[in-house]
Amino acid sequence: MASWLKQQKKNLRLWVQIAFAALTNGYVTGFLKGRIYSGPFKQLCVPGLNCYSCPGAVGACPIGALQAVLGSSSFRFSLYVFGFLAFVGTLAGRFVCGWLCPFGLVQDLLYKIPFPRKLRRLPGDRFLKFLRYVLLAVFVILLPLVVVDFVGQGKPWFCSYVCPSGTLFGGIPLVWLNEGLRRSLGWLYAWKMALLVLVLALSVLVNRPFCRYACPLGAVYGLFNPIALYRFQVDASKCTHCGACQAACKLDIPVWKTPNSTQCIRCGACLKACRFGALRSTFSLKKPDSSFPEKETR
């Protein structure tokens, strides 16, 4: 029993991911009847990339919500969604990606599948890591704002042409459960399925390829990592620069150098790997602990 509990403690992040995915996708009737929840909670954004057209979804995806507001004829800026992103980002940064995002969970599970040669990063990583900012700026913000129809409405370009989370959590179950939707399938569905298959296949090879290279929500939260209340700290007096934290990091981040990197999803593997107690996480607006002399971090 004690060893079982110890094992579950090791898997704490996985259990939190599963519980949060179940909580935010708990509308069981949707899965049984092939429809979506349309109650009042759908006004509220959830922190992760969770398609609001998933039959179980009880909240709204912030990236979908942002495009919906920017693409409407009534608004040119979204105070509500940008405010939400700033609030969550300032509190937790990319902790959301590591602990609360259902699409992150899917990628984590796929990465557990054994494969002869796992990759630390994809070829072209140096350039690919900027793709998420391009997708955020162009597909999530600019195109919905600028390309509008005769009544002044834009469409959600990221959802339409890119989002694999929407295809997985919304597209597949709804099309499976609805005869009418199945009759409407066309090239766009095929394109989005091809993108989804690519992301899922890459997820077996490399850890979290979508989060690293293409997620606009991760791009936003990542900008908050350096100032978020939930942060990692390096004790300069204890750190030996041995690199154990980077070796343990599935995203290959040199944590001892950049503990609050915009890439870090706060999985916490580095904290466990440091044998010298030089790394720790904090959640505070208070003055840092003087017994833990933090080095200036980016």
Among 27, 52, 221, 256, binds other proteins (CB under 8 A): 52
- The rounded Cα 203 to chain-centroid distance in angstroms is 14
Tell me how far apart the alpha carbons of residues 108 and 235 are, in angstroms, rounded to a whole number. 29
Q: Between residues 88 and 244, which has the closer beta carbon with respect to other proteins?
A: 88
Among 20, 27, 37, 95, binds other proteins (CB under 8 A): 37
The answer to whether residue 174 forms part of the interface with other proteins (CB under 8 A) is: yes
Q: Between residues 93 and 98, which has the closer beta carbon with respect to other proteins?
A: 93
Among 121, 131, 142, 155, binds other proteins (CB under 8 A): 155
* Interaction mask 253-272, other proteins, x per CB under 8 A: --------------------
Tell me how far apart the alpha carbons of residues 69 and 76 are, in angstroms, rounded to a whole number. 8
Q: Binding-site residue total for other proteins (CB under 8 A)?
A: 65
Tell me how far apart the alpha carbons of residues 298 and 296 are, in angstroms, rounded to a whole number. 7
The answer to whether residue 47 forms part of the interface with other proteins (CB under 8 A) is: no
Among 13, 42, 121, 238, binds other proteins (CB under 8 A): 42
Q: Between residues 100 and 206, which has the closer beta carbon with respect to other proteins?
A: 100
137: its two tokens? 């700026």
Among 84, 95, 111, 213, binds other proteins (CB under 8 A): 84
Angle CA(204)–CA(113)–CA(24) in degrees, nearest 5?
80
List the interface residues with other proteins, window 97-136 (CB under 8 A): none
Instruction: Kindly give the interhelix angle for 79-92 and 62-70, rounded to the nearest 10 degrees.
Output: 150
Q: In angstroms, what is the minimal distance from the CB of 70 to other proteins?
A: 10
Contact 245, 255 (CB under 8 A): yes
Under 8 Å CB-to-CB from 22, ≥6 apart: which residues?
A: none
The answer to whether residue 175 forms part of the interface with other proteins (CB under 8 A) is: yes
Burial 108-132 (b: 16+ CB within 10 A, else e): bebbeeeeeeeeebeeeeeeebebb
Among 153, 184, 237, 240, binds other proteins (CB under 8 A): 184
DSSP H helical ranges for the chain:
2-10, 12-24, 28-33, 62-70, 79-92, 95-99, 102-111, 125-128, 131-134, 143-146, 157-161, 164-166, 172-177, 179-183, 187-205, 209-213, 216-224, 244-248, 269-273
Provide the 3-class DSSP secondary structure of residue 17.
Answer: helix
Among 56, 156, 216, 259, binds other proteins (CB under 8 A): 156
Among 110, 159, 270, 278, binds other proteins (CB under 8 A): 159
- Site residues for other proteins per CB under 8 A: 35-40, 42-43, 45, 51-53, 57, 59-61, 64-65, 68-69, 72, 74-75, 78-84, 86-87, 90-91, 155-156, 159-160, 163, 166-167, 170-171, 174-175, 181, 184-186, 188-189, 191-193, 224, 226-229, 285-288, 294, 296
